[in-house]
Amino acid sequence: MSTTAIQKPVINPYEAALENFDLAADALELDENVRAMIKYPERILSVSVPVRMDGGNIVRFEGYRVQHSTSRGPSKGGIRFHPNVTLDEVKALATWMTWKCAVVNIPFGGAKGGVTCNPKRMSMGELERLTRRYASAILPMIGPERDIPAPDVYTTPQIMAWIMDTFSMNMGYPVMGVVTGKPISLGGSLGRNEATGRGCYYTVLSSCRHLNIPVKGARVAVQGFGNAGSLAANLLHTAEAPVIAASDSTAAIYNRHGLDIPALIQYKERTGSLRGFPEAETISPEELLAMDCEILIPAALENAITEENASAVGARIVAEAANGPVTPEADRILDRKGVFLIPDILCNAGGVTVSYFEWVQDENHLFWDEQDVNSRLEKVMTRAFNDVLKIHLERKASMRLAANMLGISRVADANRIRGLYP
């Protein structure tokens, strides 16, 4: 087993989500009655997913869909296929989605789904049967006006297409808006595939402006060279910020002059791994996180930076492309070190923002060009960044606390105005 092998999270991400909620609710002096209405998931579904494997045997997988909030609109959130998926992880991810949609001010609540499985060890046929069975199991909960899934770790546009098809076959007519992150030929949006990385990039540009760090020449390290991480890396590479280190679940690599990112993306597509990439030396995952650089982008999974390794972080900016990569204890350490943190619910909100654009286009049967998508995304991300920064500066709150305060206050407002049914 390589040293970068996936570890079981030792810190429960749902506890971290609740702790951060309490900190923000206290700072907002939020009424206890409102807290009681908005803190916990509205609906949780746990499903059994039996799948006929290629060998003829049947394996049962565990799946979940959690709707945390529908206060501001239908709930929205990705589906994760990963061996470490747990109900608490899905609850945490759903909770963060609620605050995230509110931070970028799009009319959605938060949700998340997941299946505990290892898609890397499954054939395409097995993956399709797993996806369709899971989609059937959560079918009563989803729909364009109810809850709209999207890709997350180890789920793809093809998987979204299978969910859309399964839902449509059950309804008896095509329902494009039931999922986002679909292939373009099936009502997907231009720009969606790179939206999370692009949104992260815009928040990094805003941070550099705020901190007076020139982007050109700023050294970048990226943990998790998947959809979010590789596309953020590519945009920074194009802006002449050298990406000196990158990692995936199999290897971490380094080149002090900057990695050739377009070549690395092709290499990863071809071989499925960063291991063995020419013109780079292998480093340990810990060395990547401790890299002396201007910008560190954790873009893999939760709990990458904990109280054990936070004091070793060498970056000036930590841009959380992943969800929950920094634990609350590590937050406090980074804060004390003066690291500028772009919190996940802001940094990676580009994905859900362009998912929202995709849903709008599907519902209207009218599609936008890529430039239109990107310029609308830039506007949303920059406005959200400035809204969070304003609270950070005015209230002397950390960027995490400021983002949570903004998201939670918007959800609380919607709840107050709607009132409590019955």
Interface with ligand NAD (CB under 6 A) = 4, 6, 151-154, 196, 223-229, 247-249, 285, 299-301, 321-323, 348, 351
Choose between 34 and 203: whose C-beta lies nearer to ligand NAD.
203
**Closest CB to ligand NAD belongs to which residue?**
226
Neighbours of 58 (CB within 10 A): 9
Choose between 37 and 362: whose C-beta lies nearer to ligand NAD.
362
Rounded to a whole number of angstroms, the minimum distance from the CB of residue 324 to ligand NAD is 7
Tell me the C-alpha distance between 369 and 51, whole Å. 39
Choose between 136 and 382: whose C-beta lies nearer to ligand NAD.
382
Choose between 1 and 417: whose C-beta lies nearer to ligand NAD.
1
Neighbours of 125 (CB within 10 A): 12
Rounded to a whole number of angstroms, the minimum distance from the CB of residue 33 to ligand NAD is 31
100 catalytically annotated: no
Rounded to a whole number of angstroms, the minimum distance from the CB of residue 351 to ligand NAD is 3
Closest-CA residue to 274 (of 229, 333, 324): 229
Rounded to a whole number of angstroms, the minimum distance from the CB of residue 391 to ligand NAD is 22
Rounded to a whole number of angstroms, the minimum distance from the CB of residue 421 to ligand NAD is 31
Give how far Cα 412 sits from Cα of 15, 215, 418, Å. 20, 37, 10
Q: Is 233 in contact with 220 (CB distance < 8 Å)? A: yes
Q: Which of 112, 216, 268, 337 is catalytic?
A: 112
Choose between 231 and 412: whose C-beta lies nearer to ligand NAD.
231
Q: Is 388 in contact with 399 (CB distance < 8 Å)? A: yes
Longest dimension (CA), the chain: 65
Give how far Cα 267 sits from Cα of 7, 226, 240, 264, Å. 25, 12, 21, 5
Rounded to a whole number of angstroms, the minimum distance from the CB of residue 32 to ligand NAD is 31
Choose between 223 and 327: whose C-beta lies nearer to ligand NAD.
223
Q: Which residues are catalytic?
A: 112
